Amino acid sequence: MMDRLNEQRLFQPDLCDVDIVLVRQHSTFPAHKGVLAAYSPFFHSLFAQSKQLRRVDLSLDALTSQGLQQILNFIYTSKLLVSSRTVRDVLNAATLLQMSDIAASCRDLISSHSLRTTCTDMANQEGHGSSEPASFYAIH
């Protein structure tokens, strides 16, 4: 069922019942209220208070399109891919949306330097020699 809802979110946004809008980035993310509320205490509280809400405008500097997109991908697929470039954006989004497990996982990755080590090791193995390859760390 989540696969179908994710397909609707990505390819049939007219079947979604709410738009999450990042005002400062001019980005809109269609979604399903019930799915968001099930995963995020922030959205649960918001939708419980305003049942007719069809658009959520967020204008927080700490919330980026990249971070929110990764959080939405996790909500719909149970898979979160972060890189050394995106982990802080994902951490900020998880914190703002009160998704404490994801925030804790991101903080652990940052403090343990797992991403930096993993990225550097993969680049050296592939012979690129760069410390900034496009590699990702999955959190399940």
Rounded to whole angstroms, the Cα distance separating 100 from 136 reads: 21
**CATH number where 53 lies:** 3.30.710.10
Of 21, 12, 137, the closest CA to residue 79 belongs to 137
pTM given for the model: 0.80
From residue 99, alpha-carbon distances to 13, 92, 106 in Å are 24, 10, 11
Residue 11 burial (CB count, 10 A): 8
Instruction: Report the number of distinct structural domains present in the chain.
Output: 1
Query: Domain span at residue 21?
Result: 2-139
3-22 per-position pLDDT tens digit: 999 999 999 999 999 999 99
61-82 per-position pLDDT tens digit: 889 999 999 999 999 999 998 9
Phi and psi angles of residue 103, each rounded to the nearest 5 degrees, phi first: -60, -45
